[in-house]
Structure 1
Amino acid sequence: MVWCSRILLRKYGNFIDNLRVHVKGGTGGMGLPRLGGEGGKGGDVWLVASKEVSLKKIKDKFPHKRFVGGVGNNSSVRELRGEPGAVCEVEVPAGITITNDNGAKIGELDKAGDRLLVAKGGYGGSFRTNFTPSTGQKKIIRLDLKLIADIGLVGFPNAGKSSLLSKISHAKPEIADYAFTTVKPELGKIIYSDYKQISIADLPGLIEGAHINKGMGHKFLKHVERTKQLLFVVDVQGFQLSYKTPYRTAFETIQLLTLELQLYKKELLTKPALLAVNKMDIPDAEGHYQELLQQLANPSEHLHSLPDDLIPERPVEFKYVLPISAETGQGIDDLMHFIRKSIDEQAELEIRESAKEKLQSLQTMPSRPRKNKPALRP
């Protein structure tokens, strides 16, 4: 068994996870009609993923949020083919999706060094265009950051997600008795004794109606899309946001969390999931926990407590269910062990499936006809 040593946590101050910018390719250079010269091409605009930048840094450094390629040089007697305009490279954080103003996806940049052309420069003037250059492409694009992590924490406010991270890290995220102590994403790494690292995204708590953008709404849910697995964190006592909202048992809380994920994007429920049942240090916690296990074993028999419109299409099947107490440390080591186990199992499964697909593609490839050997002369 490989145990973890600690979690390193990175906080995002004044966090910005989307930005709207204007990009424009450079205009091409003029051609020289007298000698048939050709103007230089306008500079393109590229986005380049980097680890050293954030959307907030871009907004602060470029308040105009406008990026333009250089203008191509004109053709001349000394230089019949003008030099191209300067290429504009915009450093952006890894993990962004780029869309146009209508929401159509242009591309993604997942890791440092990834590049995406977002605006082409115009062509230089030549005899083909009556020596008149063309202008570059111009468009409004949206940079939408979706945190990439191995594990995404899913839970209602005050489920104990921040307490859980504080227990297994040197960082001290804000913790209080009121809801929404986490209002900005935090990305941490579990470092195991064999140097294996697993990233965990602690994200703002959901509330009922998040799928229609209530509370943190889509600001939370979009980050879940990029995580490999989900870790549900629920209070063994259940949850009540305020005196105006209904009390939900731990079982009902899990169903409502599932429903919010389903209504936002069904594909989220295909991710492997674990369940941490928190606050096991309180009186009567063991009784509540055993009741929850029975309900999870036969969920259809216990959904009558919820209205039909609050019942998900199908329940989440958790790979591992673990009782913990972020307050006392109970079950924390086991939780870290099973997170590692689940991630390793998924990696092994992906390797097997990839090998199977390659084998099937080889089997379906048409075989080359054999050439007949020339007959030997007597």
Structure 2
Amino acid sequence: MVFTSYCLRSEKKVRRYLRGFIDSLRLTVKGGTGGNGLPKYGGVGGQGGNVFCIAKENITLNKVKEKWTTKRVYAGHGGNSHAKAILGESGKDENIEVPLGIRVYRDDGKLLADLNEEGAKALVARGGYGGSHRSGWLGIKGQSNIIRLDLRLIADIGLVGFPNAGKSTLLKAVSRAKPKIASYPFTTIKPNIGIMEYPNLRSISMADLPGLIEGAHANIGMGHKFLKHVERTKMLLLIVDINGFQLSPKHKYRSCLENIILLNKELELYKKELLEKPATLIINKMDTPNATKNYDEIKDKISHLSEILKDYPEEMCPETPLIFDDILPISAKSGDEKQIQYVKERLKDILDLNDEISKKKDMEENAKLIQTLKEEIAEKAQGSQQFHR
């Protein structure tokens, strides 16, 4: 009875806390109606105002919601043409400042814009044209759309793991972030961003995402709400408890190796492209009893996941096993400064190495494209010469 009441109180607390975090917001946007024309003088009405979304730093969806409390954004109407002003005045545009990393969708699911850079701008509702002889001198109504602002955090590293693996503890250790930490599942119920700083003034951002559970790909446990934030990271950092994990007495205990396989599977089922990202693995809680022995038993298997999947049920095995750039056994909670510095340096080196590989691939692809274009131009030129002969 006590346990049940505790769970109910915890669930209510989680719901209250989540109300303060918004990563999706729907708005009704409408362009202004064009002004009426003036038949007597051939006057043209003013263009209706447009509605734009503009990406800005230090903006959150909470701030967007606070500014547009009615969730309706209407641009100004164009002015009518009259004897003293043959061309009607244009309606006022409305700009919705949104966070970096916003995708703007129309209500029918069409992607209107992907705003990742400061100042990136997208038209989401066009104003109507002013009245003229073509429209019988009547102003045209502006576009009306229902849009969804969908936030996907932008970070260099996405920290992924099952509950209570030590994600928040690691984030706190490597950065100045202050996530809530406790020894029970689902301490983190909204994403946190930490910044790893280096002596050369380099900084690397890390997103700590709430713990996944089996079935996250199917949106169990708010899976989609948080897995989507992994999409914009450069690298995946998986973290698992060397002692394994059991969500509750109703759930099956999963060993450390099983957790690695299941995380791989959840990422694949949500979006296969995620497995193309560089990935590093942290084996946490190495300060616990028998941790070293347990790690010695599985470290070779982790490096050869494709070879051991046959020993596990087909439903829990991914089609594409992850190949980790490095496997780091640590104790995030111990506060060992040398260990934490080593982790930071390894993550930086792995990021830099993969950036170089990506640049090289882009250069090779560009070189191939340029060569193809040159060959096409040469063929067309040769064909043209033969024609003129």
Q: 2:330 aligns with which of 294, 308, 324?
A: 324
CA contact (8 A) 2:177 2:194 kept: no
**Structure 1 residues 81-90 or 163-172, which shifts more?**
163-172
Q: 2:348 aligns with which of 334, 340, 348?
A: 340
SS at match of 1:227: coil
Q: Where in structure 2 are the equivalents of 1:51-200 lying within 5 Å? A: 51-200=57-206
Q: 1:358 aligns with which of 366, 379, 383?
A: 366
Distance 2:227 2:369 in 1: 36
Give the alignment's Cα RMSD to 1 decimal: 1.9
Structure 2 unaligned blocks of 5 or more:
1-17
Q: Where in structure 2 are the equivalents of 1:184-223 lying within 5 Å? A: 184-223=190-229
CA contact (8 A) 2:29 2:125 kept: yes
Distance 1:337 1:347 in 2: 15
Q: Per the alignment, do residues 169 and 352 of structure 1 end up closer, same or farther by CA in structure 2, a change over 3 Å counting?
A: closer
Q: Which amino acid aligns with 2:45?
A: G
Shift of the alpha carbon at 1:363?
1.9
Q: 1:277 aligns with which of 283, 290, 293?
A: 283
CA contact (8 A) 2:177 2:195 kept: no
Task: Spell out, residue by residue over 1:239-267, the C-alpha distance to the aligned partner (whole angstroms, 9 max, x if none).
Answer: 11111111111110011111111111111
In proportion to residue count, which structure has more helix? 2
Shift of the alpha carbon at 1:346?
1.6
Q: Which amino acid aligns with 1:14?
A: G
Distance 1:259 1:102 in 2: 30
Structure 1 unaligned blocks of 5 or more:
1-11, 373-378
CA contact (8 A) 1:205 1:216 kept: no
CA contact (8 A) 2:163 2:185 kept: yes
In proportion to residue count, which structure has more strand? 1
SS at match of 2:188: coil
Task: Spell out, residue by residue over 1:206-243, the C-alpha distance to the aligned partner (whole angstroms, 9 max, x if none).
Answer: 00011111112111110011111100000011111111
Distance 1:158 1:253 in 2: 12
Q: Where in structure 2 are the equivalents of 1:185-264 lying within 5 Å? A: 185-264=191-270
**Structure 1 residues 62-71 or 117-126, which shifts more?**
62-71
Distance 1:305 1:369 in 2: 60
Q: Per the alignment, do residues 266 and 129 of structure 1 end up closer, same or farther by CA in structure 2, a change over 3 Å counting?
A: same
Shift of the alpha carbon at 1:344?
0.5
Distance 2:265 2:371 in 1: 42
Task: Spell out, residue by residue over 1:166-186, the C-alpha distance to the aligned partner (whole angstroms, 9 max, x if none).
Answer: 223344321111100000111
Higher relative contact order (CA 8 A, sep 6+): 1
SS at match of 1:233: strand
Q: 2:357 aligns with which of 338, 343, 349?
A: 349
Shift of the alpha carbon at 1:15?
1.3
Distance 1:66 1:322 in 2: 49
CA contact (8 A) 1:204 1:216 kept: no
Shift of the alpha carbon at 1:295?
1.6
Distance 1:170 1:112 in 2: 24
Shift of the alpha carbon at 1:13?
8.9
Shift of the alpha carbon at 1:19?
0.1
Shift of the alpha carbon at 1:297?
3.3
Shift of the alpha carbon at 1:302?
3.5
Q: Per the alignment, do residues 329 and 201 of structure 1 end up closer, same or farther by CA in structure 2, a change over 3 Å counting?
A: same
TM-score, normalised by the number of residues in structure 2: 0.89
Distance 1:70 1:269 in 2: 47
Q: How many equivalent residue pairs? A: 361
Task: Specify the alignment match of 1:291 in structure 2.
Answer: 297
Task: Spell out, residue by residue over 1:303-329, the C-alpha distance to the aligned partner (whole angstroms, 9 max, x if none).
Answer: 355422111112110000011101113
- State the identity %: 50
Task: Spell out, residue by residue over 1:3-56, the C-alpha distance to the aligned partner (whole angstroms, 9 max, x if none).
Answer: xxxxxxxxx992110000000000000000111110000001100011132111
